[in-house]
Structure 1
């Protein structure tokens, strides 16, 4: 179900009240991301989101970007134990040791992947031939055969915190699938799928 906002535009319930989520939904979510740093950042943030609300991650995103060097894989790949401890002491981010270590591990895996064509090409190679056409939130998938395959491939390539649900959320966030409700003003906004 969509909610008509005070601006007359239809959005899903999750993006209808919180101004930060509404801005994210209206301008960023589901738009194509095809640069290494952007895809790496979203993989890491989706991993941090596991078990938490996306609003929590979005509110902390400026701090995440600051402490992880703008999600520059080359810089983060060089982080060591002292950096992990520094990050564990920073209350502005999610202080989960496994997720912090995964972000560093994922940076290293991203750098290694360049020899095989790179993270962006790998991730986008799992774009499905069709996208869902959800009429309400209950019809929005949380996994797909492609997200399962992407998860397995990323894990084989050394990535962590990339389960099938996380990779599906990544696919939604970067426009690989369009799960905007068919009644939403954002449906088809990526330019990759029909409205």
Structure 2
């Protein structure tokens, strides 16, 4: 790396080295290419970064076609459940409630940018519970969703379920719908939601 690389370039490089998904690596590499020194001595660096980006884009295309992608460093335990949902549906709160994990909880959108893992014991069985970024965020990755044994799908309204289902085409795990923030609904609204979910055999 050239000695005169800018602090912004070094920051992008650090993001690349800590990236957990192919998509995140691609995003960081693009930043590095944009921020790389433009002088002649950095030609090899820029060429190397562009070759690396091309390889990652090819890998990403293969992932998109197969529906398979993995997060670095996450080893699947015997039972794995993944918390899925849109932003601000209570995913982090549920993980914190059921496990010893301490995810960042905020009203700010897209607070979760990487998987957060916790362990829970249910009737003697240890279950790996993972919260992943919101499905509509740039950090969403379908790899864990496609391989999970169970999906806990958190929604605050039925329209969200329709959007989430579009992302779960290749999943094989058992789906459990969790309707959060139901305390603000009327009894009539709750009955309507219950009837709708039952008609869809959830």
Give the TM-score, by structure 1 length: 0.22
Q: Which has the higher strand share?
A: 2
Give the TM-score, by structure 2 length: 0.21
